[in-house]
Amino acid sequence: MRRDQRIPWHKLLGQALADALIGLPYQVSTEEELALRSQRLDVLIIEQGQSPQATSRPADDCPDGLEDLTKHNLLSFKAADEPFSAWFAEELLSHSVTYRKVASLRALRKRQSGKDQPLEEPKEAYRLLPAEDFRCYAIATRFPRQLVKQLRSGSCQKTEKAGIYHLRFGTRDMRLVVINQLEPHPRNAPWGLFATDEAQWRAAFASYRSHSDIGIHLHNLIGYFRLGEGYMAYTQEDMHRDAREWLRGALSELDPEEVLQCYAPEDRLKGLDPEDRLKGLDPEDRLKGLDPEDRLKGLDPATIEAWLAKQRRDH
């Protein structure tokens, strides 16, 4: 990897969290656009309606700090040695104000028209979505000592989980996740991939278990950016092979009838030999929809003549 190549930390973290939350009713996006003049939020996690395909997963399977996500979760992430400062906290809160307006207008437009339309702030007052539906997360690799020194005493409180803090900034609360302090557990591997301590991120890299092909691709990218070009022996073909193996494992837990319902009829038949396609069908069913000429193709003329002669005798 070239020294001047910039690592896309926000995209990688978004992929890690998208994979970590597979099976839960949340959608993850990165660098969410918040204004006409570009203002991008690092990571956004939005609650989605429960889908029929969603699997049930216990909350304690989520990375620490994400076990009680709300409807709209805004994350600001400072990677490597960049400290999470008061400026970044103010920026995150500013984004939360803007995003709350955006989300409220989207909900208003959807209620009025039943579909998404270009957002325009109305001249009249409109109702904002409840404040409790929004939460801010400060994601830092190292504990932000300088920031905490600037705050009132007691503004940063430890929780029962290592590396997770309640942070009071002005009149607002946010959750602080300090990656380097988190418990070294497989559930925290999505965070640990971004630790600054080499032993920690290598352990997370080794214990990381993907929940989808997103996670497989993420693991490949992290290996590339962290370990260099030599790691690219794990190719795109390898990634697709692992993704297919994961998919086969996931489908094996379902009833065969449920699996078939996921595919269109023409897709169910792809790759089957003609003999396999016809198995179990009565002769009448095999011939349905064929023109008379198509039915006779391939038959020996003598066979046809013999059949016609028999029909004449019988009638």
pLDDT tens by residue, 177-220: 999 999 999 999 999 999 998 899 999 999 998 888 888 888 88
The dihedral formed by the CA atoms of 11, 184, 134 and 143, expressed in degrees to the nearest 10: -90
Q: Do 213 and 278 reside in the same domain of the chain?
A: no
Q: What is the pLDDT of residue 26?
A: 94
In 3D space, the residue among 267, 269, 286, 45 whose CA is nearest the CA of residue 175 turns out to be: 45
What are the angstrom distances between the C-alpha of 168 and each of 44, 138, 160, 230? Answer: 21, 11, 17, 44
What are 77-102's pLDDT values in tens digits? 988 778 899 999 999 999 999 999 98
When pLDDT is cut at 50, 70 and 90, the band that residue 27 belongs to is very high
More reliable by pLDDT, 275 or 221? 221
**By C-alpha distance, which of 54, 38, 41, 44 is closest to 18?**
44
pLDDT of residue 240: 62
Tokens 């104000």 locate to 97
Residues 194 and 267 in one domain: no
Give the pLDDT band (50/70/90) at residue 233. Answer: very low
Lowest mean pLDDT among 155-169, 268-282, 295-309: 268-282
CA-to-CA separations, 64 to 15, 31, 104, 181, in angstroms, rounded: 16, 22, 28, 11
Identify the burial level of 71 via C-beta atoms within 10 angstroms of its C-beta, where 0-12 means exposed, 13-18 middle and 19 or more buried.
middle
> 308: domain range?
263-314
Higher pLDDT, 276 or 208: 208
- 248 inside domain: no
Residues 199, 298, single domain; the answer is no
State the number of CA atoms in the 13 A half-sphere of 187 facing the CB.
Answer: 14
pLDDT confidence of 300, banded at 50, 70, 90?
confident
Are 103 and 211 in a shared domain?
yes
Supply 183's token pair: 């418990």
Mean pLDDT of all residues in 241-252: 62
118 with 14, same domain? yes
Which is more confidently placed, 208 or 39?
208
What are phi and psi for residue 47, nearest 5 degrees? -70, 135
Distance CA 91, CA 108 (A): 26
Of 154 and 286, the one with more pLDDT: 154
| Residue linked to tokens 């302090």 | 181
* Residue at 310 is within a domain: yes
